[in-house]
Amino acid sequence: MALRELASLEKYLGLKKPNKYSTQGDKKVPVLQNNNAPPLVGLVTIACHLAKEAKRPELLGDGAEGRAVVQQWLEYRVTKLDGHAKEDTRSILKDLNLYLQDKVYLAGNQFTLADVLMYYGIHAIVLDLAVQEKEQYVNVARWFDHIQHHPGVRHHLPPVVVLRNRLYTSRHH
């Protein structure tokens, strides 16, 4: 799964020569094999490395603060989202929804690697949401739709239909 994700990322970044990967352990942690340097282990580490290799540093955020926010969400992806317990799905969606309320992208107004990896990671959850639930997490749905239509991002994943007009008026909690 992580490998497909990295392959899609490579395509998005326009890297010509595909890298060689393997996986490690039960959790299939991706490993990037490198001829001149020791192998790199871990999805976020490899993804950041690829962005640098593609000369797209802006995808990692601008300035120390910007970079920190991007790292924040990359870390969130691999620690909170991956392997989360079933009962935590709602609270993840709820938190993200609140966070995205006043943002276009995870790092504010700039499209970054955080959006790409979070999109790959959350796809299965969003795919499973009913129309009504998508409306409940309207900011997540809006962001998700935005990212899946971002040129060159989607690749290995099926598109998820997100309605733009509301079927149900808002529910209160």
Partner 1 sequence: MELFVGEGNPHCLKVLAALEVTGVQCGVQFINHEEKVVPFLSRPALPALLLPSRQHLFSPNTICRYMFELNGPESSNQCNQWLEWEATVLQPVLFRALHMAVLQGKGSEVAKVLQGPLNVLDQSLGKGSTTYLTGEALSVADVVLWGALHPVLSDSSLALSAHQSVKAWFDRVAAVRGCQSAAQKVLQGKGLEAMRSYMQKQPAPQSSQGRDAQPCNSSPAESEEGDRVVSEEEMEAAVLTWGKDLNACSQATEKQHPIMPQEGKRNVLITSALPYVNNVPHLGNIIGCVLSADVFSRYGRLRGWNTLFVCGTDEYGTATENKAREEGLTPKQICDKYHAVHSSIYKWFQIDFDFFGRTTTEKQTEIAQDIFWRLQKNGFLVEDTVEQLRCESCQRFLADRFVEGTCPHCSYPEARGDQCDKCGRLINAVELREPQCKVCRQTPVIRSSKHLFLDLPKLESQLEQWLEKSTSSGDWTANAKQITRSWLRDGLKPRCITRDLLWGTPVPHPDFKEKVFYVWFDAPIGYLSITANYTNQWEKWWKNPHQVELYNFMAKDNVPFHSVVFPCSLLGAQDNYTLVNHLVATEYLNYEDTKFSKSRGIGVFGDMAKDTGIPSDVWRFYLLYVRPEGQDSAFSWADMALKNNSELLNNLGNFINRAGMFVTKFFEGCVPVMELQQEDKKLLAVVGWELQQYIQLMDKVKIRDALKHILNISRHGNQYIQVNEPWKKIKGGESERRRAGTVTGVSVNIACLLSVMLLPYMPAVSQTIREQLNAPQSCVNAMLQGAGTFACALRAGHRIGAVSPLFQKLEADQIEALKKRFGGQQVQIGASTQPAAVPAPAAVAQVQAAVGSDPEKAKQLAKAVAEQGDKVRALKSQKAEKAVIAGEVAKLLDLKKQLALAEGKNPEPAPQKGKKK
- Whole-number Cα distances in Å, 15 to 79, 83, 142, 171: 27, 29, 29, 45
Q: Which C-beta is closer to partner 1: that of 151 or that of 171?
A: 171
Q: Which of residues 112-131 bind partner 1 (CB under 8 A)?
A: 120-121, 124-125, 127-128, 130-131
- Whole-number Cα distances in Å, 129 to 114, 116, 126: 22, 20, 5
**Tokens of residue 3, six digits:** 């490998």
Candidate list 18, 58, 91, 159; residue touching partner 1; CB under 8 A: 91
In the sheet with 29-33, reading across from the earlier edge strand, the strands are 20-24, 29-33, 40-41
Interaction between residue 28 and partner 1 (CB under 8 A): yes
Candidate list 59, 78, 113, 153; residue touching partner 1; CB under 8 A: 78
Q: Report the SS3 class of residue 163.
A: coil
Q: Using CB under 8 A, list all residues that contact partner 1.
A: 1-2, 5, 26-29, 38, 40-45, 48-49, 64-65, 67-69, 71-72, 75-76, 78-79, 82-83, 85-87, 89-91, 94-95, 98-99, 101, 120-121, 124-125, 127-128, 130-132, 167-173
